[in-house]
Structure 1
Amino acid sequence: MGNAALKTPTRPLAGPAPIFLRKRLQALALSGAALLLAIAAAVLLHATGSGQGLRIAATVNGVPIESEELAQAMSEQRAATAAYFKAKYDADAGAEFWKTSFGGEVPLEKLKRDALAQTVKLKLQQAMAEREGLTDDISYASFLKRLKAENERRASGDEAGAGVYGPKQYSEAAYYSLLNSDLIGALKAKLEGGMTWSDDELRAYYKAHAADQFTERTSVSADVVSVSFAPGSSLSETEAEAVMKAIAKKIDAGLSAADAAAGFEGQATVAAVQVDGDTARGAALRTPVLASKAQDLQAGRHTGVFKENGAYVLAVATNRAQGKVHLFAEVRDGIAAQLAEEAYDARVAEAVASATVDIDPSIYDRIKLDSQ
């Protein structure tokens, strides 16, 4: 990559379109989650011979990757690796788990590969930030000096009674995550801030994705009739099914849900529900079958009888309204931000794909889990 200027794409990026305006929020949420994980995590890893100074386990484009950096990435990847082997091989993370071969895959080896890939990607972004003048030293030794200075400042603040914001002392993992989150955020802001998009490019993206990204979910209102056979109810399952079928016949004959259920007081209940962009997620968690069936209903139609949560249920759509289509002017800035996000990700992916990574086996192979 060298010092080449960032190239602005001349057309919307190819490939699956990201969900409008959510990717940036998700990225922020993920970086926050990573920081919380780092703060909560215990020290799980060590490099054999630690305490004898930093040691270079690998390089990417000649930039050193210290064993401590890999150890931190391994700590972050550990749970994901264990989950992978549990899902694929139903393997539990016991005493010998990390050294055992499952179908030719060894958990520790996969953990270290994934950690190296994560660290390479991070190191390349650090190098970009250094070239952009956002930092003057990306070495781990420099980071440790900053950590020491920050913790000394926090200790001095406590002693002086001035107090400090946040933890009294940062762990290596927590502070490393925090600094990198800030640095990459600044890098993205600088690079993306220099990108420009023509009105034609933005309109082309809008036109291609108006239906799936810029149109709100269709809203369906329905009257839901339910007859319970759950423990404590007055009806058995067979009796509840018979009642609901009788109600369904009345609805098919033209009665409203309320009128059809009127003759079964104490046995059938009728409730109005609405499934739209604001309520769909909650409805899918509470009553997934109802939410799925209701969203496809046209006004005046019903779902038919089905079972859910200990009851026989039937929903009659009372209204269906198409979701609002956001105008181009309303989402223009969001589209530009989304394309900039895609362009940044593409630049990082290109850097990773073209990077030269050299591993020092004498260091890399000796990075182990504390449990070994």
Structure 2
Amino acid sequence: MKLVQLAIAALAGMVIAAISIWSSRAGAVPEEEPVAVVNDSPVTAVEFMREAERQRASVIDYFYRTYGAKMGHHFWESAFNGENPETALKERTLKEIVRTKVELELFQEHGLIHGTSDADLIRELEKENERRRAAIRANQPVYGPVHLDEAAFRDIFISKTRGELKEKLSRNELVANDDTLMRHYEAIKDPMLISEGTVRFDKLTVSYKDTGSGDGDGRSKDRVRAEMADAKRLADQGMELAEAAKELWVGVGASVAGYTEEELNNRTAGAYYKFQPALYALLTGGLPDGRVSPVIDEAAQGSYVLVRITDREAGGYRSFEESRSQVESSYRDTAYSAYLNRLVEAARVDLHPQAWKALRLL
């Protein structure tokens, strides 16, 4: 019983300490008191502090990279070439909040949300969590966590609603004719729309999954790599990889060693990039034709790989028609960002002087 009492006392002390930290860092400004108003949307102290927490690391990193200043006891009160970290954090936090509030107002204007306050977002969070609980009860799939916390929900919700707004605005404010899209295509085609070209290659693969742990022959990963190094030596001396594969079959068995002739092109590049990144980097990174690659460890596949490029066709740019949907999506993103920037520049920001001065971020 005494241990329980001690645990409760310790927990209470932690809670009191957390409250004290909030109070001292917020300068005793009540959580729901507005410290600023963006257009018609109030910004409460708790909203401001939450965003400041998100911005703290970037401010610390800026002062370290710019002035070599390290985080220490007097870091936030110090001045570096006339710049003060706490002031910089306040300014960066306010800038991000203004952008968020303007975007939320845009969502509301187009009927996608009911309000821009913290309370409005909390209501949306509760609705989403109830939807997820209902889906679980009905044995329906739920993507991501069953229960979202406020931080996770905010980013997911804003991203999802932003996509819906872009779709609506693309019919009017962000509409683009073919001439506009063609100009955007010319602006982004390098590097976004470069064709991969075609690379044909021979490939020798040896799996090291489960080696030395139940396969019966006690092979280790190091042993497999040594055998692969022997295969590379033979290939460097002129042996075809198909023949080197036969030599490997003697050492490791045909069940774990394989030889294939493959092709990297526009259709297959995505799969290589996603599932065999080391191989993709090698094939697109300047391996000369005819030369045997180093031994590649494809950890995700659990295998060692050797390749030799046998043929190559230069790529180019994908045509406008081939890339039209990607060009439209890229243009919509660019136009939306520019549209939002104009609204942010025109936003009315009113600080509440007393609350703003009392709000401390230390």
Q: TM-score with structure 1 length normalisation?
A: 0.57
The residue identity in structure 1 corresponding to 2:200 is S
Q: What residue is the counterpart of 1:199 in the other structure?
A: 178
Give, in angstroms, the shift of residue 363 of structure 1: 2.3
The residue identity in structure 2 corresponding to 1:118 is E
Which stretches in structure 2 are left out of the alignment for 5+ residues?
Answer: 1-17, 209-219
CA root-mean-square deviation: 5.4
* Aligned residues of 1:45 and 1:75 also touching (Cα < 8 A): no
* Aligned residues of 2:290 and 2:310 also touching (Cα < 8 A): no
SS in 2 for 1:279: helix
Give, in angstroms, the shift of residue 346 of structure 1: 0.4
For 1:133-212, what aligned pairs fall within 5 Å after superposition? 138=116, 140=117, 143-144=118-119, 147=122, 180=158, 184-194=162-172, 195-206=174-185, 209=188, 212=191
The residue identity in structure 2 corresponding to 1:259 is E
Q: What residue is the counterpart of 2:343 in the other structure?
A: 351
Cα distance change, pair 259–128 in 1 and its aligned pair in 2 (3 A): closer
Alignment of 1:317 onto 2:309: yes
* Aligned residues of 1:219 and 1:277 also touching (Cα < 8 A): no
Alignment of 1:231 onto 2:189: no
For 1:318-333, what aligned pairs fall within 5 Å after superposition? 318-320=310-312, 328-329=320-321, 331-333=323-325
What is the percent sequence identity of the aligned residues?
A: 22
CA distance in 2, matches of 1:173, 1:314: 45
Alignment of 1:71 onto 2:17: no
Give, in angstroms, the shift of residue 278 of structure 1: 2.2
CA distance in 1, matches of 2:280, 2:39: 52
Cα distance change, pair 85–236 in 1 and its aligned pair in 2 (3 A): farther
For 1:212-231, what aligned pairs fall within 5 Å after superposition? 212-214=191-193, 216-224=195-203, 231=222
Cα distance change, pair 282–313 in 1 and its aligned pair in 2 (3 A): same
Q: What residue is the counterpart of 1:248 in the other structure?
A: 236
* Aligned residues of 1:219 and 1:320 also touching (Cα < 8 A): yes
Give, in angstroms, the shift of residue 123 of structure 1: 1.8
Q: What residue is the counterpart of 2:290 in the other structure?
A: 302
CA distance in 2, matches of 1:277, 1:307: 21
Alignment of 1:342 onto 2:334: yes
CA distance in 2, matches of 1:233, 1:108: 56
CA distance in 2, matches of 1:245, 1:75: 55
Give, in angstroms, the shift of residue 192 of structure 1: 2.5
Q: What residue is the counterpart of 1:292 in the other structure?
A: 281
Q: What residue is the counterpart of 1:118 in the other structure?
A: 96
For 1:49-68, what aligned pairs fall within 5 Å after superposition? 49-50=28-29, 52=30, 54-60=32-38, 64-68=42-46
Cα distance change, pair 293–356 in 1 and its aligned pair in 2 (3 A): same
The residue identity in structure 1 corresponding to 2:48 is L
* Aligned residues of 2:125 and 2:153 also touching (Cα < 8 A): no
CA distance in 2, matches of 1:169, 1:260: 54
1:291-333 Cα offsets, whole Å, 9 max, x none, are: 43323679x9223564655999863123446679766445434
CA distance in 1, matches of 2:84, 2:221: 48
